[in-house]
Amino acid sequence: MSLIHNTAAELGAMIAAGEVSAAEVAGAHLDRMAEVEPKVGAFLHVDRETTLEQARAVDARLQAGEKLGPLAGVPIAHKDIFATRDMPTTAASKILEGWHPPYDATVTRRLREAGLVILGKTNLDEFAMGSSTENSAYQLTHNPWDLTRVPGGSSGGSSAAVASYEAPLSTGTDTGGSIRQPAAVTGIVGMKPTYGGSSRYGLIAFASSLDTPGPFARTVLDAAMLQETFSGYDPMDSTSIDAPVPSVVEAARNADVSGMRIGVIREFAGEGAQPGVLARFNEAVQLLESLGAKVVEVSCPSFETALPAYYLIAPSECSSNLARFDAMRYGLRVGDDGTRSAEEVMALTRAAGFGPEVKRRIMLGTYALSSGYYDAYYGQAQKVRTVISREFEAAFHQVDVLISPTTPTTAFPIGERADDPMAMYLADLYTIPSNLSGNAAMSVPCGLADEDGLPVGLQIMAPVLGDDRCYRVGAAVEKALESRWGGGLLAKAPAL
């Protein structure tokens, strides 16, 4: 087996045992990137020699007897929204083109401390605003299953890198589904941890009460190992949770759902979904029942109002957060010829530096926060958010986890929804409620749609700090379906 086809857990064990070096593993993945990256377009920044230097440094640390984590030496693709002191950090926006942060994000620092080797920075929708990665200011990223289709968003570069075997692991952020939705449409595992369970320090903010860093992987265990590597309390993040959390790695190794109570959300079990998506979801429900789980229907009527509430709350926070890009301190500066005022330079820079979707959301958010409209729009949306959180809480008194399809459809063609923002926003219809409430949620592959042969994701939602439940159910589904598929869903993907 080629090194690129090993799981992250396998690679970590092989490196620790001295069977292969971190430099050899990094080299194999860099070679894979050179082969397929012209077709996929997952990365915005790659520096082969710097990556190999990182890997050789990890080998030296291991040879010196330093105790590192179980993923030491394993390569990882890093979403270009996390600050990296030795690589550009652009958030896929022209307004930050070429910016080199003077510090690492907490997630970045923890990856380095654990000995993971960062292969490069991955493409995304500009400032993580989008569901297709078409809003990047730099390039398109293509779905490895069908290069004419999107890889999801906003973390589409990260999902495509893992699905195309350019990296065994990657990082993402989930604000309204930006990990789970791309994971679903590329046939991999994606996890949104409990809000506050992973640090936002050094993450370029889109919506501060929603943004959540999380892992992508090709197996549930790999995702769990990565989440445990970079999550946990961080005093640098005021929203970080300082509380004990059950081991997600232990849960991923458990893979037993017998006796668990699993709720199917009535409002997300049919309306508007692609027939092939519904067919695979219904099969997953039957599978869980066959594994000993008790499945019941649960009604959460306010979930149908989550989408409009989100598109008032998130743009409002974006309007506030992106005010810092003022052309005065760092990043792009346009029109500063000595004849213009600071206000004129700021306006010219923002006009040139922000893309259409970012401008749309800034305007939406500014309007929602403006005098005379705050209570009618932003205030009402926050009340809806409270109701959604209460419905989740009531549901989790009845069941251990909730399930639904991750997305209403499989990956759609590039360009199909580019001029229809509402159609684009509907891609996150099933994922947004968990962002508004802050609870944990995962997408795990559950088969291929009959219509197009493209991946379908099963969404598993658990209570706040109940991340381990997602991994337990996800691992059970993965184990059962792997034997049916013979080697995992990606074994069925067309070769690039």
Tell me the catalytic residues: 79, 154, 178
The 3-state secondary structure of 230-257, one letter per residue: HCCCCCCCCCCCCCCCCCHHHHHHHCCC
* Cβ-based neighbours of 382, under 8 Å, separated by 6 or more: 309, 313
Q: Which of 400, 476, 2, 458 lies closest to 189 in space, CA to CA? A: 458
CA 162 to the chain's CA centroid: 12
Phi and psi dihedrals of 281, rounded to 5?
A: -65, -45
d(CA 103, CA 105): 7
Write the CB contacts of 433 (distance below 8 Å, at least 6 apart in sequence): 300, 303, 306, 388, 392, 461
Q: How far is CA 276 from the centre of its chain?
A: 24
Give the Cβ contact number of residue 16 at 10 Å. 16
Residue 44 is encoded by which pair of tokens? 């915005």
Torsion of Cα atoms, 233 then 239 then 245 then 249, to 10°: -80
C-alpha span between 421 and 130 (Å, rounded) = 9
Helices (H), 64-194: 106-113, 156-163, 180-186
Strand partners, 410: none
